[in-house]
Amino acid sequence: MTDGTTWVGATAKQISRAVRRGDITATQVVADHLEQIAITDPSLDAFRVIRAGEAITEAEKVDDQEDLSNLPLAGVPVAVKENTPVAGLPTWNGSAAARTGVAEEDHEVVRRLRGAGAVVVGTTRMPEMGLWAVTDASDAPTRNPWDRDRTPGGSSGGAAAAVAAGLVPIAHCNDGLGSIRIPAACCGLVGLKPGRGVVPPELGLTNWYGLVEHGVLTTTVADAALGFSVLAGRDPIKLVQPSRLRVGVSTRSPLPGVRADEPNMSAVSSAAKLLVQAGHDTRTADPKYPPALGLGTLATWFASAYREAEHYHLADLQPRTRQHIRLGKWALRSGLVRQSQRDAFREASIQFFADNSIDLLLMPALASAPPLADGHAGGSWRHNMSVSMKYAPFAGPWNVAGLPAIVVPVGLRPDGLPLAVQFVGPPDSEALLLAVAGQFEVLNPWQRHAFV
């Protein structure tokens, strides 16, 4: 609880503990957050749908349960990304043209959140079909609470804006080429992309050839661990002090000709010093990004849009999206979408940790500051590709590899926007990534919310 009168700004763990103890009702917690959403969201456009009445009813049902002890998210208001089915709501997929019908049942990750006692207060915005690293619509670009002229990232930008503004303590999101970690970095949040197959992967329509993983965005590592445990169907993760680790450090960009700017380079340097302060060893270790990886990843990105487009009326989609779809058709016909190539990069990435005798890899989260919020939805395909790739090139390879990765805040840029770094680990290292992130939070606490 933040000031004795509202639960807005409290963590998910604080809320669930208080609701389980009977210190506060789920109904009051949800009402507090709905009031804050009504005040703040009109200037952010983080939400597509707000379930005010339904959320209060669901919170009352939580309060009516006799035993709340087994509900790790008891009474916690959560938001769900709009490409993930929520029973009784259309699945928007980023625009009216990409909207599909009313879902008859919850996606499995939504079912797990509700089963843990969480209350879905609404669905959050994303770019059309989740294709871009900015979250925008021609009439309502989503804005970063740290600077409303800037994007909160994409494609889970609405989720990130909602959490950074304190509208919910935890938000569901998903990540096909960085869509958890990019918004986390833009908005000063913790964002864990689980490894392949750890969380039920299927979206309402497609899974981008296995690249997409579900996760959460939070303001604390403890909440990230809690949300991950719920989505993965695991016992709660205890954040323990990790033993001495060997951490590789790399600032090499996967995209030729693009490198991290000075603030992001400094963030990696600061993070490496924190690792040493925590008792770990660091060494330079640059992953190999074969030239074929870039073309293959682009082809898969294009083809994912083409496969999904059969559900929509092509002429109604944005020009940038239509071009992406056309290229997807070409990529498939040209034989550029190859599972064997993705499998080879995964094997090479796993071997990279063994060859370099490292436990984790530290690298930039972004290459530059978040772009402007406006001017993308109606822009050309070339413009959107350039913007997305040049400021956020570091995330995508780890979806191709299917390895877990986490973004952690480390401070602020000179312009006052958040700075972050990314850690990548071998398969099944989610708990280790969270443990190291927890050390960072202790050694270098961050501002949990933007001043909105």
Cis-peptide into 43, omega within 30 deg: no
Distance CA 125, CA 316 (A): 18
Clarify whether 179 is annotated catalytic.
Answer: yes
**Are residues 173 and 159 in contact, defined by beta-carbon separation less than 8 angstroms?**
yes
Section 300-313 average pLDDT: 92
Section 423-427 average pLDDT: 98
CA dihedral 301, 306, 311, 312 (to 10 degrees): 100
Which one is catalytic: 81, 156, 193, 388?
81
Residue 396 has pLDDT above 80, yes or no: yes
Domain ranges of the chain: 12-291+336-443
pLDDT at 35: 98
Which one is catalytic: 16, 95, 156, 179?
179
Section 295-300 average pLDDT: 96
Distance CA 144, CA 185 (A): 11
pTM: 0.97
* Residues 42-53: b if buried by 16+ CB within 10 A, e if exposed: eebbbbbbbbbe
Q: Domain 12-291+336-443: give its CATH architecture.
A: Alpha-Beta Complex (3.90)
* Strand intervals (E) in 315-383: 360-364
Distance CA 403, CA 347 (A): 10
Residue 2 has pLDDT above 60, yes or no: no
pLDDT at 207: 84
CB-neighbour burial class of residue 104 (10 A; exposed 0-12, middle 13-18, buried 19+): exposed
Residue 94 has pLDDT above 60, yes or no: yes
pLDDT digits (tens, 9 = 90+) for 380-391: 999 999 999 999
- Give 5's pLDDT tier (boundaries 50, 70, 90): confident
pLDDT digits (tens, 9 = 90+) for 358-375: 999 999 999 999 999 999
* Strand intervals (E) in 311-435: 360-364, 405-412, 418-424
pLDDT digits (tens, 9 = 90+) for 25-59: 999 999 999 999 999 999 999 999 999 999 999 99
pLDDT at 77: 99
pLDDT digits (tens, 9 = 90+) for 401-410: 999 999 999 9
pLDDT at 1: 52
Residue 3 has pLDDT above 70, yes or no: no
- Give 311's pLDDT tier (boundaries 50, 70, 90): confident
Distance CA 326, CA 263 (A): 37
Residue 203 has pLDDT above 70, yes or no: no
Section 320-340 average pLDDT: 97
Structure tokens at 65: 């349960």
- Give 304's pLDDT tier (boundaries 50, 70, 90): very high
Distance CA 42, CA 48 (A): 11
**Are residues 18 and 78 in contact, defined by beta-carbon separation less than 8 angstroms?**
no
- Give 451's pLDDT tier (boundaries 50, 70, 90): confident
Instruction: Name the DSSP letter for residue 107.
Output: -
Section 1-12 average pLDDT: 81
pLDDT at 327: 98
pLDDT digits (tens, 9 = 90+) for 163-188: 999 999 999 999 999 999 999 999 99
pLDDT digits (tens, 9 = 90+) for 123-165: 999 999 999 999 998 889 999 999 999 999 999 999 999 999 9
Give the position of tokens 């445990």: 229
Distance CA 272, CA 275 (A): 5
Phi-psi region of 99 (alpha: psi -120 to 50; beta: other; left: phi over 0): beta
Q: What distances in angstroms separate CA 271 from CA 147, 152, 217, 362, 364, one per listed residue? A: 24, 23, 20, 8, 10
Residue 256 has pLDDT above 60, yes or no: yes
Residue 273 has pLDDT above 80, yes or no: yes
Q: What distances in angstroms separate CA 219 from CA 36, 190, 192, 441, one per listed residue? A: 17, 6, 12, 10
**Are residues 421 and 268 in contact, defined by beta-carbon separation less than 8 angstroms?**
yes
pLDDT at 345: 98
Q: Please count the CA atoms within 13 angstroms of the CA of 441 that sit on its side-chain side.
A: 23
pLDDT at 138: 80
pLDDT at 137: 86
Section 203-229 average pLDDT: 90
- Summary mean pLDDT of the chain: 96
SS3 328: helix
Section 270-291 average pLDDT: 97
